[in-house]
Amino acid sequence: MSLRSGILFCNKSDISDATQLQKNMLRNAVEDKVTSTITSPFLGRPPANVAYATQRGRMLFGKSDQLLADGSLSRFEGKVNLIFTSPPFPLNRKKRYGNETGDTYIRWLCAYGPLFKKMLAPDGSIVIEMGNSWEPGMPVMSTLALRALLEFQSLNNLHLCQEFIWQNPAKLPSPAQWVNVERIRVKDSFTRLWWMSPNRKPKANNQRVLHEYSKAMKDLLKKGSYNSGKRPSEHEISETAFLRDNGGAIPSNVLTFANTHSSDAYQIYCRENKIQPHPARMPSELAKFFIKFLTEPDDIVLDPFGGSNTTGATAEELDRFWISIEASDDYISGSRGRFGNRITYDMHSQ
């Protein structure tokens, strides 16, 4: 069995030898190819605000609040299946890209609600990632991120489908004064992702994000028996409940990915072109999880705070269409490095 140029080569014996997880992957890959005959939503010459484009996506240069409001994306209204984004975090001091602070931040974020909802397909989802912040000069956490998410969700009449935690085990100890110097706090190593939708049952399928079974589970499946009966938690476990091979384990809402890639294509491109890498990139694994979970091939994914365009590059890799918007020309410059020769249009070479 092999995957060449996006085409899966296999024969019958491959299928019978495959584990259930491999069978699911094969089935998904075959379904992906069958469904990808859909025509591109990007027709014609890209408009002036497109910094670069590929067959599957467009990076727009500008402020997303303006571009979403002024009709630049009206063709895609009601068609976006997933808005996956990491807005500037609410900080207590301004970062290079000018994060808002305090209640101004909350009002600024909430105003995106109607703009996002207008873009969403009826069964579409919004996933917002937000990190923690601390009160300046005090070993006390700010509740601003939580308040911002809560107000965004409630003011915009969105359902909170599920809360996720992304834990980054490689996160440097911070806030340094309280963690490293005074040793009175432990390191802050997670961000929150709120999956929201106007729809109680937006498109989702956890079978697309199964984890490989643990060794214990694989052994159990092989052995075909285990201790059934009542557990201390009062759950009654039947004799066969765990004997079906479902192709992998259902993941939990705590996602652990280390953000440590130091020599990926993006970093190499930035180094070679003397571009400062984006300081707040997310790992592609995080984007991959939500794009696979909440969309299907040829669906449209929008990231209105694109940064280094992790979302666009991951969507492209997964055969989705993508639209990213980024306000900083410098960050857009670096993000080109994620696409190499897949860039089919570049405003600089026009």
Q: How far is the CB of 11 from ligand SAM (least distance, A)?
A: 40
Q: How far is the CB of 187 from ligand SAM (least distance, A)?
A: 20
Nearest Cα neighbor of 111 from 76, 66, 144 is 66
Using CB under 6 A, which of the segments 11-19, 174-182, 203-211, 277-285 binds ligand SAM? 277-285
Alpha-carbon span 150 to 194, nearest angstrom: 9
Structure tokens at 68: 């979403």
Which residue lies nearer to ligand SAM by CB, 57 or 248? Answer: 57
Alpha-carbon span 59 to 336, nearest angstrom: 9
At residue 212, the 3 state secondary structure works out as coil
Which residue lies nearer to ligand SAM by CB, 203 or 278? Answer: 278
Among 72, 86, 142, 153, binds ligand SAM (CB under 6 A): 86
Q: How many CB atoms lie within 10 A of CB 237?
A: 14
DSSP assignment letter at 173: P
Among 63, 118, 147, 342, binds ligand SAM (CB under 6 A): 63
Which residue lies nearer to ligand SAM by CB, 69 or 150? Answer: 69
Are 84 and 284 spatial neighbours (Cβ–Cβ below 8 Å)? no
The interface with ligand SAM within residues 297-336 (CB under 6 A) comprises: 305, 307-308, 310, 325-328, 331
The interface with ligand SAM within residues 228-247 (CB under 6 A) comprises: none
The interface with ligand SAM within residues 113-142 (CB under 6 A) comprises: none
The answer to whether 281 contacts ligand SAM (rule: CB under 6 A) is: yes
The residue at minimum Cβ distance from ligand SAM is 307
Which residues of this protein are in contact with ligand SAM, per CB under 6 A? 63-65, 86, 88, 97, 278, 280-282, 305, 307-308, 310, 325-328, 331
